[in-house]
């Protein structure tokens, strides 16, 4: 069968791509059904300090384009309002990308050391996460079975995968009105959560500060 990620390369209809994604989502649900786990209980309120707990889940916290783009995001949150958890699905690759995310996230948890999806979901639920962010979708290293177990009350897709999950366990897709206009909403199984400008991020300003200095010097010289 065609993998959801590969389906984007073929001249298929949007409806067919969505159906392919839905089939893979159902396979994830079939896998977790054998665990016979009871539904999780969720936080009924914010943490004692009034903050929202947001968890980012990715196998790409390391030398990967996803981290190249978003490595500064954990540290840019307003910590008076948001408590950030980063859940790594891959082991430490020893890169500065990994260390920056681990250092700037308030909590960094290596779930690659917990291969059981049920136990990994338990850990996330125990952390009292309000919003859980799936940064893999159907890309390499994904563990969508964790999301199929619904360890958090709100689960969203963001950045790492350019299509719909087709999954009933994913509630929102973080996007923008240019990338995903409302007239295309039927192509997604998720509700569309629009960012004011763009859902896409980049870290060039921090990765290449010397380029900005060069532009400033050239403008002064001229």
Dig out the tokens for 20 from the structure: 């392919």
Long-range Cβ contacts of 206-214 (<8 Å, 24+ apart) = 206/71, 206/72, 207/68
Return the structure tokens found at 49: 């300090």
The contacts of residue 221 (CB under 8 Å, 6+ apart) are none
Question: Considering 3, 5, 14, 64, which one is annotated as catalytic?
Answer: 5
Do 206 and 169 contact (CB within 8 A), yes or no? no
Residue with tokens 């079975």: 145
Cβ partners under 8 Å of residue 32, min gap 6: 117, 118, 145, 148, 149
Under 8 Å CB-to-CB from 14, ≥6 apart: which residues? 184, 187
How many CA atoms are closer than 13 Å to the CA of 59, on its beta-carbon side? 14
Instruction: Give yes or no: 204 in active site.
Output: no
Give Cα separations from 154 to 4, 101, 172, 188 (angstroms).
23, 23, 8, 17
Task: Provide the annotated active-site residues.
Answer: 5
């Amino acid at each position: 069968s065609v993998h959801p990620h590969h389906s984007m390369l073929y001249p298929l209809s949007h409806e067919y791509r969505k159906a392919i994604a839905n089939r893979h989502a159902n396979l994830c649900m079939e896998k977790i059904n054998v665990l016979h786990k009871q539904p999780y209980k969720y936080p009924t309120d914010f943490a004692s300090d009034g903050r929202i707990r947001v968890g980012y889940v990715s196998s790409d916290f390391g030398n990967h384009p996803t981290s190249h783009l978003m490595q500064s995001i954990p540290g840019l949150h307003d910590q008076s309002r948001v408590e950030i958890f980063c859940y790594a699905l891959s082991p430490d690759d020893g890169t500065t990308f990994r260390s920056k995310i681990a250092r700037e996230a308030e909590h960094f948890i290596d779930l690659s050391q917990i291969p059981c999806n049920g136990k990994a979901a338990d850990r996330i639920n125990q952390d009292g996460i309000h919003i859980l962010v799936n940064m893999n979708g159907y890309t390499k290293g994904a563990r969508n079975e964790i999301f199929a177990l619904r360890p958090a009350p709100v689960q969203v897709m963001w950045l790492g995968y350019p299509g719909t999950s087709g999954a009933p366990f994913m509630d929102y897709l973080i996007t923008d009105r240019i990338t995903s206009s409302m007239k295309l909403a039927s192509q997604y199984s998720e509700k569309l959560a629009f960012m004011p400008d763009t859902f896409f991020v980049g870290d060039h300003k921090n990765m290449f500060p010397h380029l900005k200095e060069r532009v400033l010097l050239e403008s002064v010289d001229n």
